[in-house]
Amino acid sequence: MSDIAVTLPDGSELSVPEGSSVEDVAYEIGPGLGSDTVAGVVDGELVDRAAPVHDGARVEIVTDQSDEYLQVLRHSAAHVFAQALQRLYPEAQLAIGPPTDEGFYYDVTGVDLDEDDFPELEAEMRDIVEADYDIERRELPREEALDAYADNRFKTEILDEEAAGDDPVTVYEQDDWRDLCRGPHVESTGAIGAVKLLSISSAYWRGDEENEQLTRVYGTAFESESELEEYMEMREEAAERDHRKIGREMDLFTIDETAGPGLPLYQPAGKRILSELSDYAESLNLAAGYDPVETPHLFRTDLWKKSGHYDNYVDDMFLLDVNDEEYGLKPMNCPGHATIFDDNSWSYRDLPVRYFEDGKVYRKEQRGELSGLSRTWSFTIDDGHLFVRPDQIESEINRIIDDILTVFETFDLDAHVALATRPEKSVGSDEIWEQSESQLEDVLDSQGMAYDIEPGDGAFYGPKIDFSFEDALGRKWDGPTVQLDFNMPERFDLTYTGEDNEDHQPVMIHRALYGSYERFFMVLIEHFDGHFPLWLAPEQVRVLPISDDNLGYAHRVKNELDGFRVEVEDRDMTVGRKIRAAHDDRVPYMVVVGDEEEAAGTVSVRDRFEDERNGVDPSTFRAHLEAERDEKRVEPDFVARSE
């Protein structure tokens, strides 16, 4: 038997016998690691420790100390829930039960469940955990598996479609219960230290509204009770920070079912914040040499067929008939930008050509997947497209990454990076995909950035570098992206004249600094808990006259702060109530004026931390506001800098 070479996380190569599994690789590294192996990551995909490796594979060993371990544990917790459910409700039919970023869910049918049933289910789950059943992987001939799941139409469909080429197929057993599954799982149910069921909702089989509606039960699991308690506290805080709740409290946006699902309407306060975000993105774009363009909301579907969207994205498009011609609301801005580029003649000296647009797009998400601003039918991408020579790829992507990291720094957000590779449904040759994936990988390596591999998560036309935001609660949200595209320039026959006076095909780079304004707005609302930095806050200063006698002076102070978003509180309330109201409205600064301040021509300044400075000259305060706004400081710091 010949040997093959696999690549380890440190970049070194290890020679192992052909046919080796992840666990075999671990034992080759060392017996201790072999015995600790729970699962593996092969070419970015989390797999069972028994999964085979191939020549050239990138292999990472997963132990109970690995970041991926919690995902494996939660997958096993989903099985514990399913076993408990079928113990209590034998008539329940199981669909699928994957792990998620925060726990797991299982889709079921044949049983009427609500959250009142959770205590009984959790007690049964704890019994299964305490029993510490071994979780054992079994292989079944495909026909035997079809017989075993003949009465479960969901598992049968999985066997007929997703696992049609697998022979044998895998199941995982614990005690007298089994589930069709590829894994991976922990060694025994006792490894699950704490479980909790969280919520219940409805879902469609395979996310298709034409299919049967199922009951989806969400839960979570951790290695210890203390970790679960910490998570539940974070979850309570997250509920308080929910952007939909804060959006109502601050009158930022509305989603009206009469107007249509997933179609946000922005109130004046919300639009002010979006305008500031747009102005900031525009300043970064102009400084980086981008030119603004604008494209319409819909095109003939001929354009979408030319770009490849019609074949690869039509199920997510809104289509309409106009005078017997088919049009589609744009799900992406790139075909329009490619058309603009194609309308001109270009020399190699002209490249790179960089376009940007705050482009409104429309994607027909499933109704059940719509959620506030995080997933909508209509959203705006701060889109940029570059047309570059092949020799410019690395330098341009490095500049884009620098701008993206500037955004993270400006908003005090942590970045997580991943390389997303070719999806199952895609266009272009293997050679083009291998080349573009390799180039993005080289850029990330040259930057010295830590990154994950996301197999199959690329765009249909090219691989991408995905950045996710980590907010104040440690949650991760999809954000900016950089996509390398050799396919669309070919489909649009885009050219430039090279130094040899021949036509050459440019490379197209897709990039966004925020991702979409809607999701980024959601992230900021929850990250800042509605306490926006001064430059973003819809109301930046509120002037609080102690009595009606001071209203005239309050308005003169407002006028001295011209250019800032300032309101005078003229309601009939005590000054204490006025301060509380401004605090509840999340105004960065309160300016209190009474007889003493009016006589001296000064103000008293309070910030959102309830720190106060008296006897302030309004011009001094204005100068500070200008600096804090222009430098885009995260927190109001007038009082702190004055101490």
Binding site members: 334, 385, 510
Euclidean distance between CA atoms 294 and 78, whole angstroms: 47
Q: Which residues neighbour 179 within 8 Å (Cβ) at sequence distance 6 or greater?
A: 79, 82, 94, 97, 171, 172
Q: How many CB atoms lie within 10 A of CB 321?
A: 8
Cis upstream peptide for 168 (omega within 30°): yes
Which residues participate in the annotated binding site for Zn(2+)? 334, 385, 510
Euclidean distance between CA atoms 39 and 137, whole angstroms: 12
Rg (CA), the chain: 29
In angstroms, the Cα distances linking 1 to 7, 13, 247, 528 are: 20, 19, 64, 59
In this structure, what token pair is assigned to residue 500? 């040899």
Q: What is the DSSP letter of 548?
A: G
Euclidean distance between CA atoms 367 and 146, whole angstroms: 32
Euclidean distance between CA atoms 473 and 468, whole angstroms: 14
Q: What share of the chain is helix, strand, coil (3-state, %, to 5)?
A: 40, 25, 35
Q: Write phi, then psi, for 172 (nearest 5 degrees).
A: -120, 135
- The dihedral region occupied by 290, where left means phi > 0, alpha psi between -120 and 50, and beta the remainder, is beta
Which of 353, 313, 344, 632 has the alpha carbon at shortest distance from 506?
Answer: 353
Q: Which residues neighbour 80 within 8 Å (Cβ) at sequence distance 6 or greater?
A: 125, 128, 129, 174, 189, 192, 195, 221
Which of 572, 564, 569 has the alpha carbon at shortest distance from 544?
Answer: 569
In this structure, what token pair is assigned to residue 362? 């429309």
Q: Write phi, then psi, for 278 (nearest 5 degrees).
A: -65, -40
Q: Is the dihedral of CA 87, 92, 94, 99 positive or negative?
A: negative
Burial group, residue 315, by CB count within 10 angstroms (0-12, 13-18, 19+): exposed
Euclidean distance between CA atoms 36 and 72, whole angstroms: 14
Which of 305, 303, 330, 333 has the alpha carbon at shortest distance from 319?
Answer: 330
- SS3 assignment for 182-231: CCCCCCEHHHCCEEEEEEEEEEEHHHCCCCCEEEEEEEEEECCHHHHHHH
